[in-house]
Structure 1
Amino acid sequence: MTEATANGARPTVALVHGAFADSAGWTDVVARLLADRVRVRAVSNPLRGIAHDAAYVASALSQIDGPVLAVGHSYGGAVITNAALRAGNVVGLVYVAGFAPDEGETLQDVEADSRDSVLLTALLQWSYPTADGGTETEFAIDPDRFHDAFAADVPEEQSRVMAATQRPVSALAFGEPTTAPAWKDLPSWAVVPTGDKAVGSDVLRTMAARAGATVTEVEGSHVIMISRPEVVTEVVRQALRAVPA
Protein backbone atom coordinates (compact mmCIF):
# COMPACT_ATOMS: atom_id res chain seq x y z
CA MET A 1 0.00 0.00 0.00
CA THR A 2 1.43 3.38 -0.96
CA GLU A 3 1.45 6.40 1.32
CA ALA A 4 -1.07 8.15 -0.95
CA THR A 5 -3.42 5.16 -0.82
CA ALA A 6 -3.13 4.90 2.96
CA ASN A 7 -3.78 8.60 3.24
CA GLY A 8 -6.85 8.40 1.01
CA ALA A 9 -8.13 11.81 -0.03
CA ARG A 10 -7.00 13.65 3.08
CA PRO A 11 -4.97 16.82 2.50
CA THR A 12 -1.27 16.99 3.12
CA VAL A 13 -0.43 18.93 6.28
CA ALA A 14 2.17 21.63 5.61
CA LEU A 15 3.79 23.01 8.77
CA VAL A 16 5.42 26.45 8.62
CA HIS A 17 7.58 27.51 11.55
CA GLY A 18 7.92 31.03 12.86
CA ALA A 19 10.70 33.42 13.79
CA PHE A 20 13.62 32.49 16.05
CA ALA A 21 13.01 28.82 15.17
CA ASP A 22 13.17 26.12 12.52
CA SER A 23 11.18 23.06 11.49
CA ALA A 24 12.53 21.00 14.38
CA GLY A 25 9.91 22.63 16.58
CA TRP A 26 7.28 20.53 14.82
CA THR A 27 8.98 17.18 15.54
CA ASP A 28 6.46 15.83 18.04
CA VAL A 29 3.49 16.98 15.98
CA VAL A 30 4.97 15.40 12.84
CA ALA A 31 5.50 12.10 14.65
CA ARG A 32 1.87 12.00 15.77
CA LEU A 33 0.51 12.84 12.32
CA LEU A 34 2.71 10.25 10.66
CA ALA A 35 1.40 7.69 13.15
CA ASP A 36 -2.08 8.63 11.85
CA ARG A 37 -0.82 7.96 8.30
CA VAL A 38 -1.25 11.61 7.38
CA ARG A 39 1.07 13.06 4.78
CA VAL A 40 3.17 15.85 6.31
CA ARG A 41 5.70 18.34 5.06
CA ALA A 42 7.57 20.82 7.23
CA VAL A 43 8.33 23.84 5.07
CA SER A 44 11.43 25.91 5.79
CA ASN A 45 10.61 29.57 6.36
CA PRO A 46 13.41 31.90 5.17
CA LEU A 47 12.60 34.58 7.81
CA ARG A 48 13.60 37.38 5.44
CA GLY A 49 10.34 39.35 5.32
CA ILE A 50 6.64 38.96 4.56
CA ALA A 51 6.91 39.39 0.78
CA HIS A 52 9.93 37.12 0.33
CA ASP A 53 8.77 34.44 2.73
CA ALA A 54 5.19 34.32 1.45
CA ALA A 55 6.44 33.91 -2.13
CA TYR A 56 8.78 31.10 -1.08
CA VAL A 57 6.17 29.28 0.99
CA ALA A 58 3.47 29.70 -1.68
CA SER A 59 5.82 28.09 -4.19
CA ALA A 60 6.55 25.20 -1.82
CA LEU A 61 2.86 24.63 -1.09
CA SER A 62 1.89 24.76 -4.77
CA GLN A 63 4.32 21.93 -5.51
CA ILE A 64 2.56 19.55 -3.10
CA ASP A 65 0.21 17.21 -4.96
CA GLY A 66 -3.42 17.57 -3.97
CA PRO A 67 -5.08 19.71 -1.31
CA VAL A 68 -3.06 21.20 1.55
CA LEU A 69 -3.90 22.14 5.12
CA ALA A 70 -1.48 24.96 5.99
CA VAL A 71 -0.39 25.23 9.62
CA GLY A 72 1.60 28.23 10.80
CA HIS A 73 3.25 28.93 14.14
CA SER A 74 3.76 32.53 15.26
CA TYR A 75 5.24 34.53 12.35
CA GLY A 76 4.53 31.47 10.21
CA GLY A 77 0.86 32.31 10.67
CA ALA A 78 1.42 35.64 8.94
CA VAL A 79 3.28 33.86 6.16
CA ILE A 80 0.48 31.37 5.43
CA THR A 81 -2.01 34.25 5.62
CA ASN A 82 -0.15 35.86 2.72
CA ALA A 83 0.84 32.66 0.87
CA ALA A 84 -2.18 30.34 0.93
CA LEU A 85 -4.30 31.92 -1.80
CA ARG A 86 -1.30 32.25 -4.08
CA ALA A 87 -0.52 28.56 -3.73
CA GLY A 88 -3.92 27.64 -5.14
CA ASN A 89 -4.30 24.26 -3.39
CA VAL A 90 -4.73 25.26 0.28
CA VAL A 91 -8.12 24.26 1.71
CA GLY A 92 -7.74 25.37 5.33
CA LEU A 93 -5.54 27.20 7.81
CA VAL A 94 -4.43 26.36 11.33
CA TYR A 95 -2.86 29.11 13.44
CA VAL A 96 -0.69 27.81 16.29
CA ALA A 97 -0.01 30.82 18.50
CA GLY A 98 0.00 32.42 15.08
CA PHE A 99 -0.37 35.88 13.63
CA ALA A 100 -3.44 36.29 11.41
CA PRO A 101 -3.05 39.88 10.17
CA ASP A 102 -5.57 41.72 8.03
CA GLU A 103 -4.86 43.45 4.73
CA GLY A 104 -2.53 46.41 5.14
CA GLU A 105 -1.53 45.50 8.71
CA THR A 106 2.05 45.02 9.80
CA LEU A 107 3.07 42.77 12.66
CA GLN A 108 4.60 45.70 14.51
CA ASP A 109 1.16 47.35 14.42
CA VAL A 110 -0.40 44.19 15.85
CA GLU A 111 2.21 43.86 18.59
CA ALA A 112 1.77 47.48 19.63
CA ASP A 113 -1.70 46.59 20.93
CA SER A 114 -0.58 43.71 23.16
CA ARG A 115 -0.41 44.01 26.93
CA ASP A 116 0.68 40.37 27.32
CA SER A 117 3.73 40.37 25.03
CA VAL A 118 7.21 41.11 26.39
CA LEU A 119 8.99 40.18 23.16
CA LEU A 120 9.94 43.65 21.99
CA THR A 121 11.86 44.27 25.22
CA ALA A 122 13.76 40.98 24.81
CA LEU A 123 15.14 41.48 21.31
CA LEU A 124 18.74 41.98 20.21
CA GLN A 125 19.34 43.96 17.01
CA TRP A 126 21.83 42.60 14.49
CA SER A 127 22.44 43.16 10.76
CA TYR A 128 22.93 41.05 7.65
CA PRO A 129 24.23 41.80 4.13
CA THR A 130 21.85 42.28 1.22
CA ALA A 131 22.35 41.32 -2.43
CA ASP A 132 22.88 44.96 -3.45
CA GLY A 133 25.82 45.35 -1.09
CA GLY A 134 23.90 47.07 1.66
CA THR A 135 22.71 45.82 5.03
CA GLU A 136 19.36 45.12 6.64
CA THR A 137 18.34 44.78 10.28
CA GLU A 138 17.44 41.47 11.89
CA PHE A 139 16.42 40.48 15.40
CA ALA A 140 17.20 37.65 17.80
CA ILE A 141 15.96 37.00 21.32
CA ASP A 142 18.40 37.72 24.14
CA PRO A 143 19.35 34.24 25.42
CA ASP A 144 18.93 35.47 29.00
CA ARG A 145 15.30 36.40 28.20
CA PHE A 146 14.47 33.49 25.90
CA HIS A 147 12.88 31.19 28.46
CA ASP A 148 10.56 33.81 29.94
CA ALA A 149 9.60 35.52 26.68
CA PHE A 150 9.34 32.54 24.35
CA ALA A 151 9.29 29.13 26.04
CA ALA A 152 8.29 29.48 29.70
CA ASP A 153 6.73 26.01 29.97
CA VAL A 154 9.68 24.19 28.39
CA PRO A 155 12.43 22.87 30.71
CA GLU A 156 15.17 25.48 31.11
CA GLU A 157 17.85 23.14 29.80
CA GLN A 158 15.87 22.62 26.59
CA SER A 159 15.13 26.33 26.39
CA ARG A 160 18.85 27.15 26.54
CA VAL A 161 19.44 24.88 23.56
CA MET A 162 16.60 26.57 21.67
CA ALA A 163 18.08 29.99 22.45
CA ALA A 164 21.52 28.95 21.23
CA THR A 165 20.16 27.51 17.97
CA GLN A 166 17.55 30.19 17.20
CA ARG A 167 17.39 31.74 13.74
CA PRO A 168 17.17 35.55 13.61
CA VAL A 169 14.37 37.18 11.66
CA SER A 170 14.56 40.19 9.36
CA ALA A 171 12.97 43.43 10.48
CA LEU A 172 11.00 43.24 7.23
CA ALA A 173 8.94 40.49 8.82
CA PHE A 174 7.54 43.06 11.25
CA GLY A 175 7.37 46.06 8.93
CA GLU A 176 5.97 44.82 5.61
CA PRO A 177 2.17 44.96 5.23
CA THR A 178 -0.05 41.96 4.64
CA THR A 179 -1.77 41.45 1.31
CA ALA A 180 -5.29 39.99 0.96
CA PRO A 181 -5.54 37.58 3.92
CA ALA A 182 -6.35 33.95 3.17
CA TRP A 183 -8.54 33.60 6.26
CA LYS A 184 -11.21 35.67 4.54
CA ASP A 185 -11.64 32.87 1.99
CA LEU A 186 -10.61 29.70 3.82
CA PRO A 187 -11.82 28.01 7.03
CA SER A 188 -9.44 28.43 9.91
CA TRP A 189 -8.61 27.04 13.33
CA ALA A 190 -6.50 28.60 16.07
CA VAL A 191 -4.61 27.30 19.09
CA VAL A 192 -4.27 30.13 21.62
CA PRO A 193 -1.90 29.54 24.56
CA THR A 194 -3.08 31.42 27.64
CA GLY A 195 0.49 32.20 28.72
CA ASP A 196 1.87 33.49 25.42
CA LYS A 197 4.34 36.32 26.12
CA ALA A 198 5.78 36.46 22.61
CA VAL A 199 2.90 37.37 20.29
CA GLY A 200 0.68 37.92 23.33
CA SER A 201 -2.39 35.87 24.26
CA ASP A 202 -4.57 38.98 24.04
CA VAL A 203 -3.79 39.76 20.40
CA LEU A 204 -3.93 36.07 19.47
CA ARG A 205 -7.51 35.94 20.75
CA THR A 206 -8.42 39.12 18.87
CA MET A 207 -6.95 37.96 15.58
CA ALA A 208 -8.50 34.48 15.84
CA ALA A 209 -11.94 35.96 16.54
CA ARG A 210 -11.64 38.38 13.63
CA ALA A 211 -10.67 35.52 11.32
CA GLY A 212 -13.72 33.53 12.41
CA ALA A 213 -11.43 30.70 13.50
CA THR A 214 -12.50 27.74 15.58
CA VAL A 215 -10.49 28.48 18.72
CA THR A 216 -8.89 26.09 21.20
CA GLU A 217 -7.43 27.82 24.25
CA VAL A 218 -4.85 25.85 26.23
CA GLU A 219 -2.58 26.58 29.14
CA GLY A 220 0.95 26.99 27.88
CA SER A 221 3.61 29.24 26.40
CA HIS A 222 4.26 30.49 22.90
CA VAL A 223 5.90 27.21 21.81
CA ILE A 224 2.78 25.18 22.48
CA MET A 225 3.61 22.71 19.68
CA ILE A 226 6.67 21.70 21.74
CA SER A 227 5.19 21.77 25.24
CA ARG A 228 1.70 20.44 24.31
CA PRO A 229 2.07 18.65 20.94
CA GLU A 230 -0.93 16.44 21.64
CA VAL A 231 -3.23 19.49 21.79
CA VAL A 232 -1.87 20.97 18.57
CA THR A 233 -2.11 17.62 16.79
CA GLU A 234 -5.73 17.19 17.84
CA VAL A 235 -6.65 20.61 16.41
CA VAL A 236 -4.95 19.64 13.14
CA ARG A 237 -6.99 16.41 13.14
CA GLN A 238 -10.18 18.41 13.66
CA ALA A 239 -9.28 20.62 10.70
CA LEU A 240 -8.48 17.61 8.51
CA ARG A 241 -11.90 16.13 9.23
CA ALA A 242 -13.62 19.40 8.32
CA VAL A 243 -11.84 20.64 5.19
CA PRO A 244 -12.70 19.43 1.69
CA ALA A 245 -10.57 16.64 0.25
Structure 2
Amino acid sequence: MLELTATLAIVGTLLSGAAMAQPAKHTIVLVQGAFADASSWNGVLARLQAAGYATVAVANPLRGVSTDARYVSDVVASIAGPVVLVGHSYGGQVISNAAKGHDNVKSLVYVAAFAPDAGESAADLAGRFPGGTLGEALSPPVRLSGGADLSIDQAKFRNQFAHDVPAEMGALMAAGQRPIAEAALTEKSGDPAWKLLPSYFVYGDGDKNIPAKALAFMAERAGSRRTTVVAGASHVVMVSQPKAVADVIVEAATRHP
Protein backbone atom coordinates (compact mmCIF):
# COMPACT_ATOMS: atom_id res chain seq x y z
CA MET A 1 0.00 0.00 0.00
CA LEU A 2 2.84 2.34 0.84
CA GLU A 3 4.48 1.54 -2.49
CA LEU A 4 1.23 2.36 -4.37
CA THR A 5 0.89 5.66 -2.51
CA ALA A 6 4.48 6.58 -3.30
CA THR A 7 4.00 5.72 -6.98
CA LEU A 8 0.84 7.82 -7.22
CA ALA A 9 2.67 10.72 -5.58
CA ILE A 10 5.49 10.50 -8.12
CA VAL A 11 3.05 10.33 -11.04
CA GLY A 12 1.17 13.32 -9.68
CA THR A 13 4.39 15.29 -9.39
CA LEU A 14 5.40 14.43 -12.95
CA LEU A 15 2.00 15.39 -14.35
CA SER A 16 2.07 18.64 -12.42
CA GLY A 17 5.52 19.41 -13.78
CA ALA A 18 4.41 18.64 -17.31
CA ALA A 19 1.45 20.99 -16.94
CA MET A 20 3.71 23.74 -15.60
CA ALA A 21 6.07 23.26 -18.51
CA GLN A 22 3.35 24.08 -21.06
CA PRO A 23 4.01 27.56 -22.49
CA ALA A 24 1.50 30.24 -21.58
CA LYS A 25 -0.84 31.31 -24.36
CA HIS A 26 -0.29 34.71 -25.85
CA THR A 27 -2.22 37.75 -24.73
CA ILE A 28 -3.96 39.28 -27.72
CA VAL A 29 -3.94 43.10 -27.66
CA LEU A 30 -6.39 44.61 -30.16
CA VAL A 31 -6.28 48.27 -31.22
CA GLN A 32 -9.21 49.81 -33.07
CA GLY A 33 -8.89 52.48 -35.71
CA ALA A 34 -10.76 55.65 -36.60
CA PHE A 35 -14.57 55.75 -36.61
CA ALA A 36 -14.81 52.51 -34.59
CA ASP A 37 -14.54 51.68 -30.90
CA ALA A 38 -13.29 48.74 -28.85
CA SER A 39 -16.67 46.97 -29.14
CA SER A 40 -15.96 46.43 -32.85
CA TRP A 41 -13.76 43.51 -31.72
CA ASN A 42 -16.55 41.75 -29.80
CA GLY A 43 -17.09 38.92 -32.28
CA VAL A 44 -13.35 38.29 -32.50
CA LEU A 45 -12.91 38.56 -28.73
CA ALA A 46 -15.58 35.93 -28.09
CA ARG A 47 -13.74 33.44 -30.32
CA LEU A 48 -10.32 34.18 -28.87
CA GLN A 49 -11.56 33.89 -25.30
CA ALA A 50 -13.30 30.60 -26.10
CA ALA A 51 -9.93 29.35 -27.40
CA GLY A 52 -8.28 30.22 -24.08
CA TYR A 53 -6.51 33.46 -24.96
CA ALA A 54 -6.27 36.43 -22.63
CA THR A 55 -7.46 39.52 -24.50
CA VAL A 56 -7.21 43.30 -24.16
CA ALA A 57 -9.18 45.60 -26.46
CA VAL A 58 -7.42 48.93 -26.07
CA ALA A 59 -9.42 52.16 -26.19
CA ASN A 60 -7.19 53.82 -28.78
CA PRO A 61 -7.19 57.59 -28.05
CA LEU A 62 -7.07 58.49 -31.80
CA ARG A 63 -5.18 61.70 -31.07
CA GLY A 64 -1.96 61.15 -33.00
CA VAL A 65 0.44 58.39 -33.99
CA SER A 66 3.15 59.09 -31.42
CA THR A 67 0.66 59.74 -28.59
CA ASP A 68 -1.46 56.69 -29.38
CA ALA A 69 1.58 54.42 -29.88
CA ARG A 70 2.96 55.49 -26.50
CA TYR A 71 -0.37 54.60 -24.88
CA VAL A 72 -0.49 51.15 -26.49
CA SER A 73 3.20 50.63 -25.68
CA ASP A 74 2.43 51.22 -22.01
CA VAL A 75 -0.35 48.64 -22.16
CA VAL A 76 2.04 46.09 -23.71
CA ALA A 77 4.66 46.85 -21.06
CA SER A 78 2.15 45.92 -18.35
CA ILE A 79 1.66 42.40 -19.76
CA ALA A 80 3.84 39.49 -18.66
CA GLY A 81 4.30 36.88 -21.36
CA PRO A 82 4.03 36.80 -25.14
CA VAL A 83 1.78 39.25 -26.98
CA VAL A 84 0.20 39.43 -30.42
CA LEU A 85 -0.56 43.02 -31.42
CA VAL A 86 -3.59 43.46 -33.68
CA GLY A 87 -4.52 46.73 -35.36
CA HIS A 88 -7.52 47.80 -37.43
CA SER A 89 -7.29 50.61 -39.99
CA TYR A 90 -5.31 53.52 -38.46
CA GLY A 91 -4.61 51.17 -35.55
CA GLY A 92 -2.19 49.35 -37.85
CA GLN A 93 0.06 52.41 -37.90
CA VAL A 94 -0.21 52.58 -34.12
CA ILE A 95 0.87 48.97 -33.54
CA SER A 96 3.70 49.37 -36.07
CA ASN A 97 5.17 52.01 -33.76
CA ALA A 98 4.01 50.67 -30.37
CA ALA A 99 5.66 47.24 -30.74
CA LYS A 100 9.18 48.60 -30.88
CA GLY A 101 11.29 47.89 -27.82
CA HIS A 102 9.06 45.10 -26.50
CA ASP A 103 10.64 41.66 -26.71
CA ASN A 104 7.36 40.04 -25.67
CA VAL A 105 5.59 41.13 -28.86
CA LYS A 106 5.89 38.06 -31.09
CA SER A 107 3.81 38.98 -34.14
CA LEU A 108 1.61 41.64 -35.69
CA VAL A 109 -1.81 41.27 -37.32
CA TYR A 110 -3.14 43.96 -39.64
CA VAL A 111 -6.94 43.94 -40.04
CA ALA A 112 -7.90 46.16 -42.99
CA ALA A 113 -5.05 48.23 -41.63
CA PHE A 114 -2.34 50.66 -42.58
CA ALA A 115 1.23 49.40 -42.39
CA PRO A 116 3.25 52.51 -43.25
CA ASP A 117 6.98 52.66 -43.76
CA ALA A 118 9.06 55.30 -42.02
CA GLY A 119 8.02 58.77 -43.15
CA GLU A 120 4.62 57.68 -44.50
CA SER A 121 1.21 58.61 -43.12
CA ALA A 122 -2.19 56.95 -43.36
CA ALA A 123 -3.34 59.73 -45.69
CA ASP A 124 -0.32 59.16 -47.96
CA LEU A 125 -1.12 55.48 -48.39
CA ALA A 126 -4.89 55.93 -48.76
CA GLY A 127 -4.36 58.44 -51.55
CA ARG A 128 -1.71 56.47 -53.43
CA PHE A 129 -4.19 53.99 -54.91
CA PRO A 130 -7.59 54.67 -56.52
CA GLY A 131 -10.88 53.44 -55.11
CA GLY A 132 -11.19 54.99 -51.67
CA THR A 133 -14.29 57.13 -51.04
CA LEU A 134 -13.84 58.14 -47.40
CA GLY A 135 -13.28 61.82 -48.14
CA GLU A 136 -16.74 62.30 -49.62
CA ALA A 137 -18.41 60.49 -46.71
CA LEU A 138 -16.95 62.63 -43.93
CA SER A 139 -18.96 65.14 -41.91
CA PRO A 140 -17.67 68.72 -41.74
CA PRO A 141 -14.69 68.77 -39.33
CA VAL A 142 -15.38 69.68 -35.72
CA ARG A 143 -12.97 72.50 -34.94
CA LEU A 144 -11.14 72.14 -31.66
CA SER A 145 -8.39 74.05 -29.93
CA GLY A 146 -5.26 73.23 -31.91
CA GLY A 147 -6.91 71.09 -34.58
CA ALA A 148 -10.05 69.33 -35.78
CA ASP A 149 -11.85 66.02 -35.33
CA LEU A 150 -13.14 63.93 -38.23
CA SER A 151 -16.12 61.57 -38.27
CA ILE A 152 -18.24 59.88 -40.93
CA ASP A 153 -21.65 61.35 -41.73
CA GLN A 154 -24.09 59.00 -39.99
CA ALA A 155 -26.33 58.88 -43.06
CA LYS A 156 -23.38 57.63 -45.13
CA PHE A 157 -21.71 55.51 -42.47
CA ARG A 158 -23.02 52.06 -43.28
CA ASN A 159 -22.51 52.30 -47.04
CA GLN A 160 -18.99 53.68 -46.60
CA PHE A 161 -17.71 51.78 -43.59
CA ALA A 162 -19.82 48.72 -42.91
CA HIS A 163 -21.98 47.79 -45.89
CA ASP A 164 -21.96 44.08 -44.96
CA VAL A 165 -23.38 44.38 -41.44
CA PRO A 166 -27.12 44.47 -40.66
CA ALA A 167 -28.71 47.90 -40.95
CA GLU A 168 -29.59 48.03 -37.25
CA MET A 169 -26.01 47.29 -36.25
CA GLY A 170 -24.70 49.82 -38.78
CA ALA A 171 -26.90 52.52 -37.25
CA LEU A 172 -25.56 51.76 -33.77
CA MET A 173 -21.98 51.79 -35.02
CA ALA A 174 -22.57 55.14 -36.73
CA ALA A 175 -23.91 56.71 -33.55
CA GLY A 176 -21.11 55.29 -31.40
CA GLN A 177 -18.19 55.96 -33.76
CA ARG A 178 -15.03 57.48 -32.29
CA PRO A 179 -13.80 60.59 -34.14
CA ILE A 180 -10.12 60.89 -35.00
CA ALA A 181 -7.92 63.96 -34.85
CA GLU A 182 -7.33 65.15 -38.40
CA ALA A 183 -3.62 65.49 -37.66
CA ALA A 184 -3.38 61.77 -36.77
CA LEU A 185 -4.05 60.81 -40.39
CA THR A 186 -1.23 63.01 -41.69
CA GLU A 187 1.35 62.30 -38.96
CA LYS A 188 4.34 60.41 -40.34
CA SER A 189 5.24 56.96 -39.05
CA GLY A 190 8.49 56.05 -37.40
CA ASP A 191 10.55 53.02 -38.40
CA PRO A 192 7.94 50.24 -38.35
CA ALA A 193 8.03 47.03 -36.32
CA TRP A 194 6.86 44.97 -39.32
CA LYS A 195 10.44 45.12 -40.57
CA LEU A 196 11.47 43.03 -37.55
CA LEU A 197 8.41 40.98 -36.59
CA PRO A 198 6.33 38.42 -38.52
CA SER A 199 3.19 40.06 -39.84
CA TYR A 200 -0.21 38.81 -41.00
CA PHE A 201 -2.88 40.62 -43.00
CA VAL A 202 -6.63 40.13 -43.37
CA TYR A 203 -8.97 42.47 -45.21
CA GLY A 204 -12.02 42.58 -47.46
CA ASP A 205 -11.82 43.36 -51.14
CA GLY A 206 -14.96 45.51 -50.74
CA ASP A 207 -13.16 47.99 -48.47
CA LYS A 208 -14.09 51.59 -49.33
CA ASN A 209 -11.87 53.30 -46.76
CA ILE A 210 -8.55 51.77 -47.77
CA PRO A 211 -8.48 50.51 -51.37
CA ALA A 212 -7.80 46.79 -51.68
CA LYS A 213 -4.81 47.53 -53.91
CA ALA A 214 -3.27 49.61 -51.14
CA LEU A 215 -3.83 46.82 -48.62
CA ALA A 216 -2.30 44.24 -50.97
CA PHE A 217 0.70 46.50 -51.56
CA MET A 218 1.33 46.93 -47.83
CA ALA A 219 0.95 43.21 -47.14
CA GLU A 220 3.46 42.31 -49.83
CA ARG A 221 5.91 44.99 -48.73
CA ALA A 222 5.75 43.80 -45.13
CA GLY A 223 6.48 40.21 -46.17
CA SER A 224 3.13 39.00 -44.84
CA ARG A 225 3.33 35.40 -43.63
CA ARG A 226 -0.29 34.94 -44.65
CA THR A 227 -2.70 37.33 -46.34
CA THR A 228 -6.40 36.51 -46.13
CA VAL A 229 -8.70 38.43 -48.48
CA VAL A 230 -12.40 38.09 -47.67
CA ALA A 231 -14.55 38.47 -50.77
CA GLY A 232 -16.88 41.46 -50.60
CA ALA A 233 -16.08 42.33 -46.99
CA SER A 234 -16.17 45.95 -45.85
CA HIS A 235 -13.64 47.96 -43.88
CA VAL A 236 -14.98 46.41 -40.66
CA VAL A 237 -14.17 42.83 -41.64
CA MET A 238 -13.68 42.02 -37.94
CA VAL A 239 -17.38 42.82 -37.35
CA SER A 240 -18.83 41.12 -40.42
CA GLN A 241 -16.40 38.17 -40.57
CA PRO A 242 -15.07 37.66 -37.02
CA LYS A 243 -14.14 34.00 -37.55
CA ALA A 244 -11.87 34.81 -40.51
CA VAL A 245 -10.11 37.47 -38.44
CA ALA A 246 -9.85 35.32 -35.30
CA ASP A 247 -8.39 32.45 -37.34
CA VAL A 248 -5.57 34.70 -38.61
CA ILE A 249 -4.84 35.93 -35.08
CA VAL A 250 -4.69 32.38 -33.72
CA GLU A 251 -2.30 31.40 -36.49
CA ALA A 252 -0.08 34.38 -35.67
CA ALA A 253 -0.04 33.30 -32.02
CA THR A 254 0.56 29.59 -32.51
CA ARG A 255 3.29 29.96 -35.14
CA HIS A 256 5.36 32.38 -33.05
CA PRO A 257 5.55 31.24 -29.41
TM normalised by structure 1 equals: 0.92
Match status 1:200 vs 2:223: no
Match status 1:212 vs 2:227: no
Q: Which has the larger radius of gyration?
A: 2
Query: Percent same amino acid at aligned positions?
Result: 45
Q: Deviations over 1:144-174 (max 9, x none)?
A: 1111110010111211111111110001211
Match status 1:236 vs 2:239: no
Match status 1:96 vs 2:111: yes
Q: Deviations over 1:195-221 (max 9, x none)?
A: 000112111111111001120111211
The two structures, once aligned, show a CA RMSD in angstroms of: 1.8
Distance 2:140 2:147 in 1: 10
Q: Deviations over 1:5-64 (max 9, x none)?
A: 7x8422111111111111100111111111111111111100001111011111111111
Deviation at 1:107, TM superposition (A): 1.1
Residues 25 and 52 of structure 2 are in contact (CA less than 8 Å); yes or no, is this contact kept in structure 1?
Answer: no
Q: SS of the residue aligned with 1:14?
A: strand
Distance 1:43 1:86 in 2: 19
Q: SS of the residue aligned with 2:151?
A: strand
Could you tell me which residue of structure 1 aligns to residue 80 of structure 2? Answer: 65
Q: Deviations over 1:186-242 (max 9, x none)?
A: 000000211000112111111111001120111211101110001001111111111
Deviation at 1:128, TM superposition (A): 5.4
What amino acid is the match of 2:59? S
Match status 1:180 vs 2:195: no
Could you tell me which residue of structure 2 aligns to residue 22 of structure 1? Answer: 37
Give 4+ residue runs of structure 1 displaced > 2 Å after superposition.
7-10, 86-89, 125-129
Deviation at 1:127, TM superposition (A): 3.3
Match status 1:135 vs 2:150: no
Distance 1:8 1:66 in 2: 9
Unaligned runs of 5+ in 2: 1-15
Correspondent of 1:226 among 239, 248, 255: 239
Residues 96 and 190 of structure 1 are in contact (CA less than 8 Å); yes or no, is this contact kept in structure 2?
Answer: yes
Deviation at 1:86, TM superposition (A): 3.5
Correspondent of 1:165 among 176, 196, 200: 176
